[in-house]
């Protein structure tokens, strides 16, 4: 592959051993991909928070970062990151770790890892949705992000350019400002490949999640183009759509002509490509997806209702407050809402936190039950308004998962019973 002078100097160690190790990893990775060169990036989102159970293999945080994040056998001193860098969702809620059920030792150890990241210039956004709290890449901006739901959002809705990166490639990009110029960084890979004829009038958040799940199953990791959308979706709906499509299939890029960043028309969406296949989404397909998403559940007594996958925005928190309508959560059930910590602050300032607390609900941040692998003790049945979470959580935590609208979910929290359905 072709290296520029500054890349060669980094590889030769001119900027210190950590940058050298980072560059070595990036060269191995780029060669594995078959990339011909790197592209500069000044926007990296990665995941380097380690819990005490991971840290016990290492003597220092520098050793852990060297080995786990840079794949280096040698321990090197890690300098400040070179470019704008953010931490994605992590294993622990900084404020409500006790609700999460972790020990003080776990809390203190994980906080130490977070402090280490902060001291190195990595911003502790601690969310799967950096684009909700100020990291909003512009069209054409080359990024290096992990988190499949965030990648598909910034590629498609915003027109930024990133592949689904991993822990090691993002850590190396933080220290070098480089990432392989491959995949979705290149124009020719961003055009549509498959056409989805949407016959059902998709409007609600729940419907956008189901459509996303369907699309991912149909196209796997290709580039779908949606035709026939009658209502312009908002951030919330596209957040759920992309997260679901990335979970069921691995979609990293899609187009909705007239709505997403790179396609004013169907022709623009496909560019030089012809659709390889066309799939119809109507009543029957919608019902099938609904049944699939509810296939792990049969017991109607619900132990936990979880809202906020991907992390909830302020309008979703308001919606939950309105649905609670001054009532209390059922004594056999918990209601957990997850949101980025700056939005939790806003919810507090707006009075929503008090409404949730008065109802017996919890507003949490920084993590989620799938990433942190925690649930209230004894949980067997959960109810979720997220197609992504219902895809992962039953498998990871061995629970039953109901899927429905936010209203279905909040009603389950108030009655302790699932009575959701497809309307």
Partner 1 sequence: MSIILRGRKVVGGFAEGEALVTRQTISGWGGVNPATGTIIESRHELRGVSFKDKVLVFPGAKGSSGWSGIFHAARMAGTAPKAMIFNEMTTKIALGAVVTRVPSVTDLDQDPLDVIETGDWVRVDGDRGIVEVIKKHERA
Residues at the interface with partner 1 (CB under 8 A): 25, 28-29, 31-34, 47, 57, 68, 71, 146-148, 151, 163-169, 180, 182-183, 220-221, 247, 249-250, 370, 392, 394-396
CB of 68 to partner 1, least distance (A): 7
Distance of alpha carbon 185 from alpha carbon 290, whole angstroms: 34
Nearest CA among 293, 292, 270 for reference residue 196: 270
Nearer to partner 1, 172 or 335 (CB): 172
CB of 340 to partner 1, least distance (A): 18
Assign 87 to helix, strand or coil: strand
Q: Quick check: 290 and 403 in contact, CB under 8 A?
A: yes
Nearer to partner 1, 137 or 394 (CB): 394
Nearer to partner 1, 185 or 286 (CB): 185
Backbone φ and ψ of 53, nearest 5°: -70, -30
> Based on the number of CB atoms within 10 Å of its own CB, is 256 exposed (0-12), middle (13-18) or buried (19 or more)?
buried
CB of 280 to partner 1, least distance (A): 24
CB of 60 to partner 1, least distance (A): 17
CB atoms within 10 A of CB 139: 11
Nearer to partner 1, 68 or 211 (CB): 68
CB of 155 to partner 1, least distance (A): 13
Nearer to partner 1, 344 or 391 (CB): 391
Distance of alpha carbon 33 from alpha carbon 189, whole angstroms: 14
Backbone φ and ψ of 110, nearest 5°: -70, -35
CA distances from 420 to 147, 403, 405, 407 (A): 30, 8, 8, 9
Nearer to partner 1, 53 or 322 (CB): 53
CB of 75 to partner 1, least distance (A): 15
């Amino acid at each position: 592959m072709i290296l520029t002078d500054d890349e060669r100097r980094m590889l030769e160690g001119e900027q210190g051993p950590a940058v050298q190790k980072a560059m070595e990893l990036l060269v191995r990775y780029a060669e594995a991909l078959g990339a011909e060169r790197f592209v500069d990036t000044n926007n990296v989102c990665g995941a380097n928070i380690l819990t005490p159970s991971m840290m016990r293999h290492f003597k220092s945080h520098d050793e852990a970062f060297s080995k786990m994040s840079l794949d280096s056998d040698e321990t090197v001193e890690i300098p400040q990151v070179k470019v704008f860098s953010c931490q994605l969702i992590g294993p622990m809620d900084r404020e409500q770790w006790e609700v999460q059920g972790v020990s003080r030792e776990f809390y203190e150890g994980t906080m130490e890892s977070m402090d280490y990241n902060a001291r190195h210039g990595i911003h502790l956004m601690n969310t799967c949705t950096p684009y909700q709290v100020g990291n909003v890449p512009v069209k054409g901006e080359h990024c290096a992000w992990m988190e499949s739901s965030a990648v598909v959002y910034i590629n498609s809705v915003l027109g930024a350019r990133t592949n689904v990166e991993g822990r090691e490639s993002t850590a190396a990009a933080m220290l070098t400002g480089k990432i392989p110029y491959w995949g979705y960084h290149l124009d020719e890979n961003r055009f549509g490949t498959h056409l989805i004829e949407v016959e059902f009038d998709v409007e609600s958040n729940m419907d956008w999640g189901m459509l996303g799940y369907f699309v991912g199953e149909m196209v796997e990791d290709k580039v779908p183009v949606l035709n026939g959308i009658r209502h312009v979706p908002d951030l919330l709906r596209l957040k759920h759509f992309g997260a679901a499509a990335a979970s069921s299939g691995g979609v990293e890029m899609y187009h909705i002509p007239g709505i997403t960043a790179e396609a004013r028309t169907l022709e623009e969406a496909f560019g030089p490509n012809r659709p390889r296949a066309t799939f119809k989404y109507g009543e029957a397909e919608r019902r099938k997806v609904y049944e699939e998403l509810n296939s792990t559940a049969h017991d109607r007594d619900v132990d936990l209702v979880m809202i906020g996958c991907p992390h909830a925005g302020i309008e979703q928190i308001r919606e939950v407050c309105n649905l609670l309508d001054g009532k209390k959560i059922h004594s056999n059930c918990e209601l957990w809402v997850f949101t980025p910590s700056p939005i939790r602050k806003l919810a507090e300032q707006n009075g929503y936190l008090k409404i949730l607390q008065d109802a017996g609900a919890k507003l949490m941040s920084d993590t989620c039950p799938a990433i942190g692998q925690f649930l209230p003790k004894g949980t067997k049945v959960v109810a979720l308004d997220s197609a992504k979470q219902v895809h992962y959580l039953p498998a990871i935590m061995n629970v039953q998962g109901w899927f429905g609208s936010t209203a279905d979910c909040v009603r389950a929290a108030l009655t302790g019973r699932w009575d959701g359905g497809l309307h």
